Chain A
Amino acid sequence: MRKKKKNYNLIAGGILTGMMLLLIAAGIFYTPYDPNAMDPASKFAGISWKHLMGCDNFGRDVFSRVLQGSRTTLFVALCTVFIGTVCGVILGAVTGYYGGIVDEILMRINDAVFAFPSLLLALVFISILGPGKNNVIAALGVAFIPSFARIVRGEFLKYRNMDYVKSAKLQGAGDLRIMFVHILPNAMPVLLSAIMIGFNNAVLAEAGMSYLGIGVQPPEASLGRMLSEAQSYLFTAPAYAVFPGVVIIWMVLGFSLLGEGIGEKE
Chain B
Amino acid sequence: MKYIGKKVILMAATLIVVSFLVFLSFFVMSGDPATSMLGTQATPDRVEALREEMGLNDSFFTQYFRWAGSFLKGDMGISYSYRIPVESMIADKIPVTLALTGIAFLMLIVLAIPLGIYIAKYAGGIADRVIYVLNQIMMAIPPFFAGILITFLFGRIFKLFTPGGYVSYKDNFGQFIGYMFFPALAIALPKIAMAVKLLRSSVIGEVKKDYVRTAFSRGNRSNQVFYNHILKNALIPVITFLGMTLADMVAGSIIIEQVFGIPGLGRILLTSISNRDYPVVEAIIICMAFIVVSINFIVDIIYQLIDPRISTEE
Contacts and interface: CB of A to CB of B under 8 A. Distances in A.
Interface of A: 1-2, 108-109, 111-113, 115-120, 123-129, 131, 200, 204, 207-208, 211-214, 224, 227, 230-231, 234-235, 238, 241, 245, 248-250, 252-253, 256-257
A245 B254 contact: no
A227 B296 contact: no
Contacts of B231: none
Contacts of B248: 117, 119
A83 to B, nearest CB: 17
Given A212-B258, A248-B145, A126 B17 contact: no
Given A1-B204, A117-B247, A211-B258, 10 more contacts: A112-B14, A119-B248, A120-B250, A120-B251, A127-B273, A204-B142, A234-B156, A248-B145, A249-B137, A252-B140
A117 B247 CA distance: 7
Interface of B: 10, 13-14, 17-18, 21-22, 25-26, 29-30, 123-124, 136-137, 139-145, 148-149, 151-152, 156, 163, 204, 247-248, 250-252, 254-255, 258-259, 269-270, 272-274, 276, 278, 281, 285, 288-289, 292-293, 296
Nearest to A204: B142
Going nearest first, the 10 A-B pairs with the smallest beta carbon separation are A117-B251, A252-B140, A253-B140, A112-B17, A245-B145, A127-B273, A128-B29, A112-B14, A119-B251, A120-B251
A111 B18 CA distance: 10
Contact of A241 (B14, B29, B148): B148
Contacts of A109: 17
A112 B248 CA distance: 15
Contacts of A214: 270, 273-274
A129 B145 contact: no
Contact of B273 (A1, A126, A241): A126
Contact of B13 (A108, A118, A126): A108
Given A1-B123, A119-B251, A119-B252, A249 B140 contact: yes
Contact of B148 (A113, A115, A208, A234): A234
B142 A128 contact: no
Nearest to B29: A128
A84 B25 CA distance: 20
B148 A245 contact: yes
24 contacts: A109-B17, A113-B21, A116-B18, A117-B248, A117-B250, A119-B252, A123-B254, A124-B25, A207-B142, A208-B142, A208-B143, A211-B144, A211-B258, A212-B255, A214-B270, A227-B145, A231-B151, A231-B259, A234-B163, A235-B152, A241-B152, A245-B142, A252-B140, A253-B140
Contacts of B17: 108-109, 112-113
A212 B141 CA distance: 16
Nearest to A131: B274
Nearest to B252: A119
B269 A123 contact: yes
Contacts of B13: 108, 112
A238 B272 CA distance: 31
Contacts of B285: 120, 123-124
A109 B21 CA distance: 10
Given A245-B149, A249-B140, A128 B251 contact: no
